Structure 1
Amino acid sequence: MGSPIIISIPHQLGRAEARRRIEGGFAKIVHLLPGSSGSANERWDGDRLIFTVAALGQTVSGVIQVFDTTVQMDIQLPGVLGVIASGLKAKLQKMGHLLLTRR
């Protein structure tokens, strides 16, 4: 069974702009996963990004849900990746915050 990472990031961008930034910055999020090739299977279902990424020979899956004032990431880390969940959570939270900060 995998280790879940749940991150909620507040923003003041509105849903459409937050989604646009997640779409544009998703590759940066993927590169934070150790051993990832940088390629991901992703699809949008409304304002939900559903994805899988190969990392260290395992499959990481998750959902990024865009709301009016928050973005929530729910990511499942299998096996050995679960061991680094706490450190990875901090990096993902920082990257998400950077993507959603007003410019």
Structure 2
Amino acid sequence: MPKPLIVDIPHDLGQAEAKRRLVEGTEQARAMLHKSGITIDQLGWSGDRLDFGVSAVAQKVAGTIDVGPESVRLEVKLPFLLALFAEKIQKVASKEGNLLLTKK
């Protein structure tokens, strides 16, 4: 089993604002992913942790997003086939996370 993909994204928004942006961002992502044929199987907040699961093309991905006061940590368990693309997925997740958490 491949190691989980982990992305830590620093921010200076404070925990509450970072979580608010992630809540809004996940709703936008849900609509975008649905149009792309990706199904969200699970999406639920428990405190400052988001547990999620998505599936597409017979591949299932599960992960968590933990919102901290100075960083957000994404941890995703990739199936073997997707683990081959872990570096690219990590770059995209980091870029999109930074855009979402940059002060506006």
Larger radius of gyration: 2
SS at match of 2:4: strand
- Give the whole-Å Cα distance in 2 for the aligned partners of 1:61 and 1:25: 18
Which residue identity lines up with residue 10 of structure 1 in the other structure? P
Tell me how far 1:38 sits from its aligned partner: 4.9
Tell me how far 1:17 sits from its aligned partner: 0.6
Which residue identity lines up with residue 100 of structure 2 in the other structure? L
Report the more deviating stretch, 66-75 or 2-11.
2-11
**Coordinate RMSD, CA, aligned:** 2.1
2:53 corresponding residue in structure 1: 52
1:14 corresponding residue in structure 2: 14
- Give the whole-Å Cα distance in 2 for the aligned partners of 1:42 and 1:68: 22
- Give the whole-Å Cα distance in 1 for the aligned partners of 2:89 and 2:20: 23
- Give the whole-Å Cα distance in 2 for the aligned partners of 1:80 and 1:60: 11
More strand by share: 1
1:63 corresponding residue in structure 2: 64
SS at match of 1:20: helix
Matches within 5 A, 1:1-103: 1-26=1-26, 27-28=28-29, 37-103=38-104
Percent identity (aligned): 39
- TM-score, normalising length: structure 2: 0.86
Q: Structure 1 stretches (4+) deviating beyond 4 angstroms? A: 29-32
Gaps of 5+ in 2: none
- Give the whole-Å Cα distance in 2 for the aligned partners of 1:30 and 1:96: 17
Number of equivalent positions: 101
Gaps of 5+ in 1: none
- TM-score, normalising length: structure 1: 0.87
Q: Is the 8 A contact 2:66 2:72 kept in 1?
A: yes
